[in-house]
Amino acid sequence: MTPTVPVTFAETDIEQIAQAEGRVAVIVTPDGKLDTAARRVNRLCKGALKRLVESDAWTRLKPGDLRTLAWPAGMQAEAVDVLCLERNADPVTARKAGAALGRAAGEGDLLILAGTVRRPAELAFGVALRRYRFTEHMTGEQDARPGAVTVMTGKPDAARAAYADMAAVAEGVHFTRDLVSEPANHLTTTEFARRIKEMESLGLKVSILEEEEMQKLGMGALLSVGHGSASPSKLAVMEWQGGESGAAPLALVGKGVVFDTGGISLKPAAGMEDMTMDMGGAGVVCGAMRALAGRKAKANVVGLVGLVENMPSDRATRPGDVVTSMKGDTIEVINTDAEGRLVLADVLWYAQEQYKPAGIVDLATLTGAMIVALGHEKAGVFSNDDALCGAFLKAAEAEGEGAWRLPLAEAYDDLLKSEIADMKNVGGRAAGSITAAQFLQRFVKDGVPWIHLDIAGVTRVKSDTAYAPKGASGWGVMALNRLVADRFEPEG
């Protein structure tokens, strides 16, 4: 796994500033006030810092913006990054400011002079989130030493304690990004299951259901997706028992299509290489479970991911075929490229039958229509429960992860009617993301709070985000972790 950057918190020692190598970050408030460390930097670089904060350019900066003084005189550092930030900045602003520092610093050493900033741990968290590169298949780069981050602050013990849980979440985000970034010839269904099984070392109970067992359970919808592939379909289950014994868990359900050709309904060649990310929902579930185990969450949570590969072959499911789900409902497969909902249908039903969860959140890179609707800024949110949905939206906002609720209604559900089976797997082009959610809702039992997250637009992006370089974003790990903390763990 791509390691997270090592972070050290220390008492402020202005005598060490001149000898620090790599980059030095100094924090100045929007009104240009310099603290003790900043004044030291200003003296070392012959007043350059003061000239910057007294310039018109400084007045145009927003909180979280930075300017760089390259090769400052009187210092060993290659650059001083001057960060504009209020001392009492809120958590998201502080985190995004840290990410800006991480982006500027690259992979070298970084000394952050946090001074009296109220949330130094959030600054470090932002750096850890942003400093990520997937180099697993780049020869000669795997052994490069990752740069260290040192945060000088007036209360290092408190910052260190606050950062401990954040470090576990950052590790979960990195794990998700690694999974999403892996090419499909490396992240097969078998390899994916192996990596999940390795998380038993964190205290998770992991079980892997193979095709024979799923066949006995009647998971005809999930199994139909993998018929055309030589890679065996699997269902991986991760249990975290950190709450009261016997208390119903929250279930996190993820779509894990390790590669999606579209099956017999073959996708166009252009852009098909991006379909290595079609397991993004499963990746987020795995990253969230890793984060919860890493910080020893005081809640019961179970993560379930269906692992399949959608390939065309003489054994592949055809358009027009009818398959039977674990629930017993029959499904007319109109388009084999609408496969994720078939996977989720059986995993959702299994989760309810096996665990009787207090609530369910499913995640999937489900529809291209979601990208048309919301672009790459927000995930689509669908729910049958206002309280659970509200809690998730609040958690996503608190973590700076974009999400937007869309409607469910009977009129959309009617579009799924089939003439030869209980339902079709698609409802046409109109409202494609909504009809996909309506399909999934048919496999949620009455009275079970449920959220569906369509993450097609946010899983992997073509440009930098606030927290990540372009590529796999890890979106959702932080929001799910916060949802568990806020709603399923005891206060205090």
d(CA 167, CA 162): 9
Average the pLDDT over 160-189 and give the result. Answer: 98
Give the pLDDT confidence of 287-339 residue by residue, as tens digits.
999 999 999 999 999 999 999 999 999 999 999 999 999 999 999 999 999 99
d(CA 28, CA 58): 10
Q: What is the value of pTM for the model shown?
A: 0.96
Find the helix packing angle between 340-355 and 432-441, rounded to 10°.
Answer: 30
Tokens of 225: 């997706």
Annotated catalytic residue 442: no
Give the pLDDT confidence of 83-120 residue by residue, as tens digits.
999 999 999 999 999 999 999 998 899 999 999 899 99
Give the pLDDT confidence of 413-422 residue by residue, as tens digits.
999 999 999 9
Where in the sequence of the chain do the CATH 3.40.630.10 domains occur?
A: 172-488
d(CA 38, CA 53): 11
- The fold of 172-488 is Aminopeptidase (3.40.630)
Q: Which of 87, 197, 267, 298 is catalytic?
A: 267
Neighbours of 278 (CB within 10 A): 28
Give the pLDDT confidence of 230-286 residue by residue, as tens digits.
999 999 999 999 999 999 999 999 999 999 999 999 999 999 999 999 999 999 999
- The fold of 7-152 is Leucine Aminopeptidase, subunit E; domain 1 (3.40.220)
The DSSP-derived string for 223-284 is HHHTTT-SSPPEEEEEEEE-SSTTPPPEEEEEEEEEEE--TTSPPPSTTGGGGGGTTHHHHH
What pLDDT is stored for residue 402 in this prediction?
96
Indicate if the pLDDT at residue 223 is higher than 70: yes
Q: Identify whether the C-beta of residue 29 lies closer than 8 Å to the C-beta of residue 46.
A: no
Annotated catalytic residue 341: yes
Q: Which of 341, 424, 442, 487 is catalytic?
A: 341
334 DSSP assignment: S
What pLDDT is stored for residue 107 in this prediction?
86
Where in the sequence of the chain do the CATH 3.40.220.10 domains occur?
A: 7-152
Q: CB-based burial of residue 486 (10 Å sphere; 0-12 exposed, 13-18 middle, 19+ buried)?
A: middle
- What percentage of the chain exceeds 90 in pLDDT? 96
What pLDDT is stored for residue 140 in this prediction?
77
Rg over CA atoms, the chain? 24
